[in-house]
């Protein structure tokens, strides 16, 4: 039943190997013995006997490597993992064979004993903290930046959400300057955190062996890549709070591939590592992992080993991770620059996707300003009459088209309700005063259409009109009439759906950067820096427009005197009253010699005294400028305006000087009566049904009288 003959002979090693593989599958193979330079016809053993012992790889140590791929300092004294030659039987088999060879050569059976001792190991540090930190250090370092990432993205998006970014661009600040400013601000803040973190790690003995300069440069490189990643993430958000919440999640999610790479570290190749290193948190994770391994080995990162890997046979190194993070920073910066130009968000005019291929983008000069009145081509004043009819909505599916010419053009919509409303509106004969021929056209609006939603009414509906230099032109209209939308298009906050605007002969669709260098604006809301003083605001915008420091200081003195704010010169903007903030916002639109000044309800929410100061400022500085003003106050338009344009539902209904409009529409007083229907008195939650009628001789008891007085002349 039991076979004691466990040795099977073979003619050569190949046959033995083939038989051993079959026996391994049945778990019946222990070892193979191969005698080198001995043949079946050999009668005596050679003087020097050479032999091989071949065993299952799991029963002996691997001989294709010098040390373990992931090794820790210390002797290999684990009985199960490190003493394979003992419990696998290799040492016992070798001892038996050597005793047999000695007996054949000597003819005696020498009772020799065998004494085994493990090779000694030099002194080492058994740092259990570092062994534990080795697995957690990469993720701890990544999480250290998650708050900074959220705050940087939130600040950038908040500037975009409050329209401060587009207002600065409208005042002449280039997009590149805004991004450079954010980079400097973020880099200084995060570099200080990096220096503090390096000091804590080195002084606190978290890392005992690495060079602190290498560690600081490594963290600084990751800071650079993280800032660029924040810029890229900010392009995709328009709400600051949402951006803050999502950016932290996205940042941490981009690190997760490193965890998978760590779990599959025996199978992942260097090409795979390079591919996932295009995510900067992953590249940072690899670098931090190698840093901790060098620390665990008692070497630390030094200048002579940053180009080599602590892992046997690994071509990826700590220096490679730094290179990849620098490459990521450049790549993120290019993507952020491109996407911000093509998709500027809720506000701003996007460029075509091929704009990097346009020579006009790269060859534009930075010092170009709008042409002065004496050098404007004569054809620029006739652009409106010479412009061919265009199809409104040609760039969007709103299904509308403009026909006719001049300011009497109308639009036909496929929607029946819209068409009926237009037919009723067309019954009102629009009257316009002839435009002055001796004045230069500063702003020419041509077939302007703006539709926010394909199913909604156009906010601006085929608007055509001109604004002249040296004049103040007022926009009158109710809320939602399209005044703010039109002014926002003029300043580049919104792109037009169709049509365009020429400002001193330059098209807002293609030359907005040049236009903004001589453009001043005051939106409905105050765009102020809370921690800048009144003087610093005026000085900043004046020098931004190209004034030297002496001229800017002189302009500050004049403007403060005109505003009546010399006593608030050194007061921060956040400490000013609402009226003072409004006056400062209006003043900033005029500083620096702006040729075109756009004011959106500049006197809203101010007291009568401040309102009067703003009026005097407008009248004083209108010379040589094209001033466009929107307002709800008829007395304000009458006092300030050279021309008044009345807009309703996005269309121009009439325009001309105040005197002209008084003569045309001054019809006296109107009396409107509202009657409550009997069947609706019982319905408390429903509104009254109103009907207009002539005034009766004797007022009825169930008639509610409402009198609306319009001063004669309007």
Token digits for 258?
């490193």
More confident residue, 368 or 583: 583
For the ranges 128-137, 369-378, 466-475, the lowest mean pLDDT is seen at 369-378
Q: Tell me the pairing of strands 472-476 and 643-648.
A: parallel
What integer pLDDT is reported at residue 383 of this predicted model? 40
| Average confidence (pLDDT) over 251-271 | 88
More confident residue, 72 or 149: 149
What integer pLDDT is reported at residue 670 of this predicted model? 61
pLDDT confidence of 325, banded at 50, 70, 90?
very high
pLDDT confidence of 709, banded at 50, 70, 90?
very low
The whole-angstrom separation of Cα 442 and Cα 561 is: 29
What integer pLDDT is reported at residue 307 of this predicted model? 92
SS3 63: coil
Residue 587 — φ and ψ, nearest 5°?
Answer: -65, -35
What integer pLDDT is reported at residue 365 of this predicted model? 47
| Average confidence (pLDDT) over 366-387 | 43
> Among 315, 297, 299, which Cα is nearest to 307's?
315
| Average confidence (pLDDT) over 537-545 | 88
Q: What are the extents of the domains in the chain?
A: 13-106, 128-342, 373-518+593-665, 670-708
For the ranges 3-12, 333-342, 372-381, 389-398, the lowest mean pLDDT is seen at 389-398
What integer pLDDT is reported at residue 509 of this predicted model? 85
The whole-angstrom separation of Cα 467 and Cα 433 is: 13
pLDDT confidence of 401, banded at 50, 70, 90?
very low
What's the pLDDT tens digit per position in 602-624? 888 888 888 888 888 899 888 88
What DSSP element (H or E) covers 86? Answer: helix 84-87
Confidence check: pLDDT of 9 > 70:
yes
What's the pLDDT tens digit per position in 25-54? 888 888 888 888 887 777 788 888 899 999
The pTM for the full model equals 0.69
pLDDT confidence of 501, banded at 50, 70, 90?
very high
pLDDT confidence of 513, banded at 50, 70, 90?
confident
What integer pLDDT is reported at residue 80 of this predicted model? 74
What integer pLDDT is reported at residue 5 of this predicted model? 66
What integer pLDDT is reported at residue 45 of this predicted model? 80
For the ranges 99-103, 126-130, 157-161, 470-474, the lowest mean pLDDT is seen at 126-130
What integer pLDDT is reported at residue 168 of this predicted model? 82
The whole-angstrom separation of Cα 226 and Cα 190 is: 10
| Average confidence (pLDDT) over 403-423 | 48
pLDDT confidence of 391, banded at 50, 70, 90?
very low
The whole-angstrom separation of Cα 461 and Cα 653 is: 11
Token digits for 714?
């309007």
What integer pLDDT is reported at residue 214 of this predicted model? 95
What integer pLDDT is reported at residue 217 of this predicted model? 95
What integer pLDDT is reported at residue 382 of this predicted model? 44
More confident residue, 314 or 182: 182
Rounded to 5°, angle at Cα 453 from 450 and 457 = 65
Q: Which long-range contacts (CB under 8 A, 24 or more apart) does 156-160 make?
A: 156/182, 156/230, 156/231, 156/234, 156/243, 157/234, 157/237, 157/238, 157/239, 157/240, 157/243, 157/244, 158/240, 160/234, 160/238, 160/345, 160/346, 160/347
Confidence check: pLDDT of 14 > 80:
yes
What integer pLDDT is reported at residue 710 of this predicted model? 47
Give how far the C-alpha of residue 301 lies from the chain's centroid of Cα atoms, to the nearest Å: 35
Confidence check: pLDDT of 400 > 50:
no
What integer pLDDT is reported at residue 360 of this predicted model? 75
Residue with tokens 């071509």: 315
For the ranges 79-83, 616-620, 678-682, the lowest mean pLDDT is seen at 678-682
What integer pLDDT is reported at residue 24 of this predicted model? 87
More confident residue, 110 or 619: 619
The whole-angstrom separation of Cα 625 and Cα 629 is: 12
More confident residue, 687 or 564: 564
| Average confidence (pLDDT) over 289-316 | 87
What integer pLDDT is reported at residue 712 of this predicted model? 43
Across all residues in the chain, what is the average pLDDT? 80
- HSE-CB for 339 with a 13 A CA cutoff: 15
pLDDT confidence of 407, banded at 50, 70, 90?
very low
For domain 373-518+593-665, the CATH architecture is 3-Layer(aba) Sandwich (3.40)
Contact between 626 and 443 under an 8 Å Cβ cutoff? The reply is: yes
What's the pLDDT tens digit per position in 427-445? 444 567 788 888 899 999 9
């Amino acid at each position: 039943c039991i076979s004691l003959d466990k040795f099977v002979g073979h003619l050569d090693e190949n046959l033995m190997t083939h038989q051993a593989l079959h026996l391994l599958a049945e778990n019946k193979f222990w070892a193979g013995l191969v005698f080198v330079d001995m043949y079946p016809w050999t009668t005596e053993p050679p003087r020097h006997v050479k032999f091989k012992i071949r065993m299952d790889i799991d029963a002996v140590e691997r001989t294709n490597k010098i040390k373990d791929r992931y090794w820790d300092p210390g002797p290999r004294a684990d009985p199960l993992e490190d003493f394979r030659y003992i419990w696998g039987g290799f040492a016992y088999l070798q001892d038996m064979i050597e005793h047999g060879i000695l007996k054949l050569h000597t003819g005696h059976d020498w009772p020799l004993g065998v004494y085994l001792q493990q090779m000694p190991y030099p002194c080492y540090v058994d740092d259990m903290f570092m062994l534990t930190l080795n697995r957690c250090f990469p993720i701890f370092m990544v999480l250290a930046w998650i708050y900074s990432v959220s705050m940087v993205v939130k600040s950038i998006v908040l500037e975009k959400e409050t329209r401060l970014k587009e207002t600065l661009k409208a005042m002449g600040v280039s997009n590149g300057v805004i991004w450079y400013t954010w980079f400097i601000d973020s880099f200084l803040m995060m570099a200080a955190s990096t220096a503090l973190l390096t000091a804590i790690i080195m002084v606190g003995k978290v890392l005992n062996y690495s060079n602190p300069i290498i560690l600081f440069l490594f963290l600084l490189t990751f800071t650079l890549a993280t800032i660029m990643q924040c810029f890229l993430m900010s392009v995709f958000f328009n709400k600051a709070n949402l951006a803050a919440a999502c950016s932290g999640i996205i940042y941490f999610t981009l690190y997760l591939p490193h965890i998978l790479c760590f779990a599959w570290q025996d199978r992942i190749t260097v090409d795979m590592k390079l591919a996932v290193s295009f995510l900067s948190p992953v590249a940072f994770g690899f670098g931090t992992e190698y840093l901790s391994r060098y620390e665990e080995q008692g070497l630390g990162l030094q200048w002579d080993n940053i180009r080599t890997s602590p892992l046997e046979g690994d071509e990826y190194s700590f220096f490679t991770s730094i290179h990849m993070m620098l490459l990521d920073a450049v790549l993120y910066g290019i993507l952020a620059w491109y996407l911000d130009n093509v998709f500027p968000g809720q506000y701003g005019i996007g460029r075509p996707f091929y704009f990097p291929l346009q020579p006009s983008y790269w060859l534009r000069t930075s010092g170009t300003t709008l042409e002065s009145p004496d050098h404007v081509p004569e054809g620029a004043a006739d652009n409106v009459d010479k412009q061919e009819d265009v199809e409104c909505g040609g760039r969007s599916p709103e299904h509308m088209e403009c026909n006719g010419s001049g300011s009497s053009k109308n639009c036909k919509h496929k929607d029946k309700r819209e068409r009926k409303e237009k037919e009723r509106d067309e019954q009102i004969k629009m009257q316009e005063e002839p435009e002055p021929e001796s004045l230069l056209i500063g702003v020419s609006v041509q077939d302007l259409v703006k539709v926010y939603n394909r199913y909604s009414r156009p906010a601006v509906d085929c608007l055509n009109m001109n604004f002249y230099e040296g004049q103040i032109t007022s926009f009158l209209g109710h809320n939602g009439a399209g005044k703010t939308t039109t002014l926002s298009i003029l300043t580049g906050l919104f792109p037009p759906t169709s049509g365009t605007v020429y400002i001193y002969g330059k098209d807002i669709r293609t030359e907005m950067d040049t236009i903004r260098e001589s453009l001043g604006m005051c939106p409905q809301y105050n765009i102020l820096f809370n921690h800048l003083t009144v003087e610093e605001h005026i000085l900043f915008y004046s020098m931004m427009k190209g004034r030297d420091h002496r001229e800017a200081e002189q302009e500050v003195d004049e403007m403060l005197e005109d505003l009546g704010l010399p006593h608030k010169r050194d007061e921060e903007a956040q400490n000013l009253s609402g009226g003072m903030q409004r006056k400062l916002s209006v003043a900033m639109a005029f500083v620096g010699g702006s040729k075109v000044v756009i004011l959106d309800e500049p006197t809203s929410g101010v007291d009568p005294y401040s309102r009067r100061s703003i009026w005097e400022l407008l009248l004083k500085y209108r010379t040589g400028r094209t001033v466009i003003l929107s307002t709800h106050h008829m007395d304000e338009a009458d006092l300030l305006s050279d021309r008044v344009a009345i807009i309703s539902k996005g269309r121009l209904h009439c325009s001309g000087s105040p005197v002209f409009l008084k003569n045309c529409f001054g019809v006296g007083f109107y009396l409107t009566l509202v009657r409550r229907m009997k069947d609706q008195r019982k319905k408390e939650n429903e509104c009254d049904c109103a009907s207009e009628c002539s005034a009766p001789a004797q007022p009825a008891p169930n008639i509610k009288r409402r009198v609306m007085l319009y001063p004669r002349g309007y």
